[in-house]
Chain A
Amino acid sequence: MRLLFGFLFAFAVAAVFGLGLTQYALTRGTAFGAITIGAWTAWPKTGTADIDPYARAAVARSGELPIGSGDGVAFYAATDDTGRPLDGRCVVTMSGITPAARFWTLALYDPDGRLIPNTANRYGFTSQEITRAADGNFQIVISARARSGNWLPTGGVDRYVAVLRLYDTPVGVATRNAKDAPMPAVAESCP
């Protein structure tokens, strides 16, 4: 009887611990092959046949189709440069330059990958739509209220993820740091 309880206990621990770990790993994202530059993280290997088992499982679970490495690379930011989570009620400023690429796009999503609803029906920018300063730097303001210049509405949502995608770019598996890929700075200020 005691043995039976022991086995049951061990199996329960195994199921909870094992599946919990899987759930955690797949929703939080893993560090395998990640490139982190400031607030931005990319997993260029996920767009190749060398994708690791964790990313493979995460892709199958979410239904996402990752960008192929012959196409481009996607950088995700869920926080600002200091690690504070991006909040739709705050004002987030992205400023600087992007790595070399023929085109880039910026879009905002909720953590499940849906576009952020807003009354302006504007979900992102492309590199052609951005107005830049004379030195090539740009500034994008992400906030609930309308701003002049490059403004992206958040609709006041709680949490969102900014995704900056570079297309036809040398940035990829071989990229290591900000010198190879200068990403825009992300600064958040909350009222």
Chain B
Amino acid sequence: MIRWLFWLLGGLLLGGIVHLGSVLLLPRTATQDAYTRLSPSAPANSMVPMPAATPDDAVLPFMDPAFAFSVCRYDLTGGPLKLRVPVSQAYTAVSFYTRNGVAYYAINDRAAGRKTIELDLMTPQQHADLPDDEEVTSADRLIIESPTATGLILVRALGPEPGLMPMARRALSGAQCRQQG
């Protein structure tokens, strides 16, 4: 009897390790994460408008129905990415996610402070490889470092009333993400 209690205790301890291990490994093995869900509909390094969510059909869970959104699935292995997003009348935000869905950077139209949000996205290595003189001229352009070579950019424009959704969608249709050189 005592012997089985020891086996049980050992099993519970091992279970604790299994638990921690599975939590840490899950992001790498997930088959339904946002990047995987978006891969069929969003070709790499181009801005793709997403259909409005409905109860039967949503590309991603828990998306805000008051927003129009576009997605750029990026792959920086071929070079840095240039992002241009014209802001809409109401509210526009750009969020950056790693391959595993970690939101590492987000900016809204007010923080950007202009009519167009312009950003350069690159890996830390590509940033380090930038020539020095270019660094100086780039003072007015925002450089974001992506922790992973692949990931997602989510561009969202608010339609404050249902009648303003076409306006939000139109504003997003001008958004671009393009690989440089």
Is A68's CB under 8 angstroms from B19's CB?
Answer: no
Q: Is B58 an interface residue (CB 8 A)?
A: yes
CA distance A60 to B4 in the complex (A): 37
Give which listed residue, A17, A57, A68, contacts B12 with CB less than 8 A. A17
Residue among B32, B56, B66 with max Cβ neighbours from chain A (10 Å) = B66
Considering the complex, give the chain A residue whose CB is closest to the CB of B71: A65
Give which listed residue, A12, A66, A116, A126, contacts B103 with CB less than 8 A. A66
Task: State how many residues of chain A have any CB contact under 8 Å with chain B.
Answer: 62
Is A65's CB under 8 angstroms from B8's CB?
Answer: no
B-contact 0/1 string along A2-26, CB 8 Å cutoff? 0000110111111111110110011
Give which listed residue, B8, B18, B65, B100, contacts A15 with CB less than 8 A. B18
Is A16's CB under 8 angstroms from B15's CB?
Answer: yes
| Segment at the interface with A among B79-87, B106-114, B125-133, B172-180 | B106-114
Task: State how many residues of chain B have any CB contact under 8 Å with chain A.
Answer: 64
A-contact 0/1 string along B72-109, CB 8 Å cutoff? 00000000000000000011010111001111111110
Is B62's CB under 8 angstroms from A13's CB?
Answer: no
Considering the complex, give the chain B residue whose CB is closest to the CB of A22: B22
CA distance A163 to B64 in the complex (A): 9
Give which listed residue, A26, A107, A115, A129, contacts B160 with CB less than 8 A. A129
CA distance A176 to B90 in the complex (A): 29
Considering the complex, give the chain A residue whose CB is closest to the CB of B159: A126
How many Å from the CB of A21 to the closest CB on chain B? 4
Give which listed residue, B34, B91, B95, contacts A67 with CB less than 8 A. B95
Is B54's CB under 8 angstroms from A18's CB?
Answer: no
Is B11's CB under 8 angstroms from A14's CB?
Answer: yes
**Which label, helix, strand, loop or mixed, suits the secondary structure of the A interface?**
mixed
A-contact 0/1 string along B46-71, CB 8 Å cutoff? 00000001111010111111110000
Given contacts A15-B15, A56-B100, contact A70 B108 (CB under 8 A): yes
How many Å from the CB of A149 to the closest CB on chain B? 17
CA distance A66 to B147 in the complex (A): 17
CA distance A61 to B102 in the complex (A): 12
Given contacts A47-B106, A113-B61, contact A21 B147 (CB under 8 A): no
**Could you name 13 residue pairs across A and B whose Cβ atoms are closer than 8 Å?**
A11-B14, A12-B11, A14-B17, A17-B18, A26-B23, A26-B26, A56-B27, A59-B33, A68-B105, A71-B108, A116-B55, A128-B161, A129-B160
Binding site for A on B (CB under 8 A): 3-4, 7-8, 10-19, 21-24, 26-27, 30, 32-34, 36-37, 53-56, 58, 60-67, 90-91, 93, 95-97, 100-108, 110-111, 147, 152, 154, 156, 158-161
Binding site for B on A (CB under 8 A): 6-7, 9-19, 21-22, 25-26, 46-49, 51, 53-54, 56-57, 59-72, 74, 102-103, 105, 107, 109, 112-117, 123-124, 126-129, 163, 165, 167-168
